[in-house]
Structure 1
Amino acid sequence: MEPVFSRFDSYNFEADQRFVDGLKSLNKSEETDLQDLKLFFYNRFVEPIDRSSYKQWSSSSPRVSSSSGLAVEQLDQKTHPHSDFDVSKNQTDASVHTETQQLSFAEVMRLIQEGKEVPGVKKLDIQPSNQSPTPSQMVRILKPWETASSSK
C-alpha cells in the first residue's frame, strides 16, 4: 500500500482543475478537513486508497513532505482570497450557521410539533393540481407465469 500512499502524497491537487473547481463549489461554512477532501477525490478519480490505512501510515511513517504544507496554504489562498475582516466575518457567520445546523432529533421533533420552521430547511411551494390522474398509455408487461401460459 505504501506506493499508493506515496503517489497520493506527491499528487498535484492544485493542478487538477476538477479538484480546484470542486473545492470552490463547497459550502464555505462546512468545516471539512482538506486532507479528507483530497483523500475522497483521489479515491474517486485517481486510484483506490484506503483512508484509515493512509492516516495510520502517515502518522507512523516519518517522511519529508515536499510541498504539502505550502501547497495547502497556496490552495487555500487561491480558493479563498479574503482580507482579515472577511475572515472574522466568515467565522462568525459559520458559527451562527453551524449552531442552527446542529439540532438534535428531539429539537427537530419539538419544532415540528410546535408548528415552527426548522432552520436550514428549504420550504417548497407544492400545490395540489386537483386533476384526475391521466390513464397509462403503456402496455402492461406480462408476468413470467403469464408469458409461460400464453406461449403454449
Structure 2
Amino acid sequence: MESVFLRFDSFDFAADGRFQAGLKGLNTCASSREETKHLDLKLFFYNRFVEPIDRTGYKQWSSASPRVTPMDGGVEQLEQQTLSDSEISENQTAGTSAETEVKPLSFAEVMRLVQEGKEVPGAAKPDITPTNQSPTPSHMERRLKPWETSSK
C-alpha cells in the first residue's frame, strides 16, 4: 500500500489537463482549510482516474512518514521502492486477497465471470448453511386489503 502512496506523492497534478480543468471550475483559494480540501480533491481524482487509494490510510501514512520528493533526489529511491513492492505483490497468493488491492470491475466483466462460474474478486462469501428445521408458524394477524377495510 505504501507504493501507492509514493506514486500518489509523485503524480504530476499540474500537468494533468483533466485535473486542472476540474480545479478551474471549483474556484479554489489558498487557505489552510482549502489546502486540506485541495488534498481531498487530489485523492478523489487519483482514486477515480489513476488507481485506487485509501484516503484515511494515505493521510495517516503522510503524517507518520517523511516524504520522498524529486527535489531531494529521491526519484531513484521511489522507483526502486515501487519495483520491490510490485515484485512482492506479484508473489502474493490468492489466500491473501484482503491485503491486495482489488481492481474495480465493470458490469460486463462481472457478468462474464458469473456466467463462466468463476469467483468474482472482492465479493464476500457468506457462510450459509441450512438449519433443516420446520418453519415456525406466524403469530401476526394478516393485514387487511384496502377493499376489506372500507366501510359499507
TM category (shorter chain) comes to: 0.3 to 0.5
| Structure 1 length-normalised TM | 0.39
| Structure 2 length-normalised TM | 0.39
